[in-house]
């Protein structure tokens, strides 16, 4: 990955390339299948930043005119983000959403059938309601559903390639890109995943799934799991990547974990959503992490 990062920076600066460099790169790329894999990973990670750049400019976090893209590339790559392979970043682009909340916003929505939807910060959903079905797609973020009974029209929430069918009244769904977490507050739900059996959850149970694979059904503290509805974030041995995903929905900008091995570090604590920056600094201090601000709203998390 370190070699792939160096090649990537060099190839993005054609003025610095010599004829022999092109040959050397081709030789390196073909020398080992792992080299090609590392090269593809570096490109994917950089494209995430490239897609975020116009948004950063539009929000005034980077000057739209006169930006030195090469200096930006060198600075980001020099921090080891491209080499680390972690590249934890959240995308906030949900063009097809019917309802969405801004960062830090919480909102309640009454759905066409009378069901209620409570949305956490930076959350987006799309609706497909007709005479035969009630379907909600959670693009990202967190939502609490209080469902009106209707035996003729199942109420289904789609999140991260899984369908969550209401068997009762109330449940919570959180989506972090390819990961979804379902928690039942009242009665039950049935979770269907691609190529898998249906999993039924009862009140107080929680299921995490990703990439079509389900984890173990766990019993959880319902008050803690719904703390966000009262403006709190509760973490109990929560992986750092998941905790930062939650924090990022309540503070402007992007948080990126530069080192893949940091993503699983456990975080425990209760934090106020209105003080997300304080929470981030507290977590960094406890876990001995370094926070580097690339712009006002782009924070890189690395090992101190």
Q: Distance between CA 95 and CA 88 in Å, rounded?
A: 22
Q: State residue 97's pLDDT score.
A: 87
pLDDT of 89: 41
Span 22-59, pLDDT tens digits: 778 888 888 888 888 888 777 776 666 665 555 555 55
Neighbours of 176 (CB within 10 A): 22
Q: Give me the residue spans of the domains in the chain.
A: 2-85, 99-222, 231-303
Q: Which pLDDT score, from 0 to 100, does residue 5 have?
A: 76
Q: Which CATH fold topology does 231-303 show?
A: Phage tail protein beta-alpha-beta fold (3.55.50)
What's the CA gap between 23 and 284, in Å, rounded? 43
Dump pLDDT digits (tens) for 90-120.
Answer: 345 566 689 999 889 999 999 999 999 999 9
Assess contact for 3 and 28: CB atoms under 8 A. yes
Task: Calculate helix-pair angle for 33-58, 2-11, nearest 10 degrees.
Answer: 60
pLDDT value at position 34?
86
What integer pLDDT is reported at residue 261 of this predicted model? 84
Could you say which residues of the chain have pLDDT below 50? 64-66, 83-91
CA-to-CA distance for 246 and 262, rounded, in angstroms? 16
The pTM of this model reads: 0.71
Instruction: Identify the pLDDT of residue 86.
Output: 42
Position 275 scores a pLDDT of 93
285 Cβ neighbours under 8 A, 6+ residues apart: none
Domain 99-222 class, CATH top level:
mainly beta
Given this model, what pLDDT does residue 92 score? 52
What is the predicted pLDDT for the residue at 88?
Answer: 40
């Amino acid at each position: 990955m370190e070699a792939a990062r160096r090649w990537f920076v060099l190839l993005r600066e054609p003025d610095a390339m010599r004829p022999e460099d092109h040959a050397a790169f081709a030789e390196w790329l073909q020398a080992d299948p792992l080299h090609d894999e590392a090269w593809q990973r570096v490109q994917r990670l950089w494209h995430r930043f490239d897609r975020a750049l116009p948004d950063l400019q539009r929000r005034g976090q980077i000057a739209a005119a006169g930006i030195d893209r090469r200096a930006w590339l060198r600075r980001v790559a020099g921090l080891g983000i491209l080499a680390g392979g972690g590249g934890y970043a959240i995308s906030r682009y949900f063009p097809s959403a019917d309802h969405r909340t801004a960062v830090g916003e919480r909102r309640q929505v009454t759905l066409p059938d009378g069901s209620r939807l409570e949305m956490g910060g930076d959350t987006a959903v799309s609706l497909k309601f007709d005479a035969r079905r009630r379907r909600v797609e959670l693009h990202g973020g967190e939502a609490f559903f209080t469902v009106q009974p209707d035996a003729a029209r199942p109420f289904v929430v789609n999140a991260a390639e899984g369908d969550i069918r209401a068997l009762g009244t109330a449940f919570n769904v959180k989506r972090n890109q390819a990961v979804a977490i379902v928690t039942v507050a009242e009665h039950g739900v049935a979770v269907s995943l691609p190529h898998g059996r249906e999993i039924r959850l009862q009140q107080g149970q929680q299921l995490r799934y990703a990439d079509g694979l389900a984890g173990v059904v766990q019993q959880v503290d319902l008050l803690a799991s719904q703390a966000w509805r009262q403006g709190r974030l509760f973490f109990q041995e929560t992986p750092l990547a998941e905790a930062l995903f939650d924090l990022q929905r309540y503070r402007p900008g992007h948080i990126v974990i530069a080192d893949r091995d940091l993503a699983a570090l456990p975080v425990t604590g209760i934090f106020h959503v209105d003080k997300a920056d304080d929470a981030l600094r507290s977590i960094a201090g406890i876990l001995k992490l370094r926070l580097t601000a690339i712009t006002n709203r782009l924070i890189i998390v690395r090992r101190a």
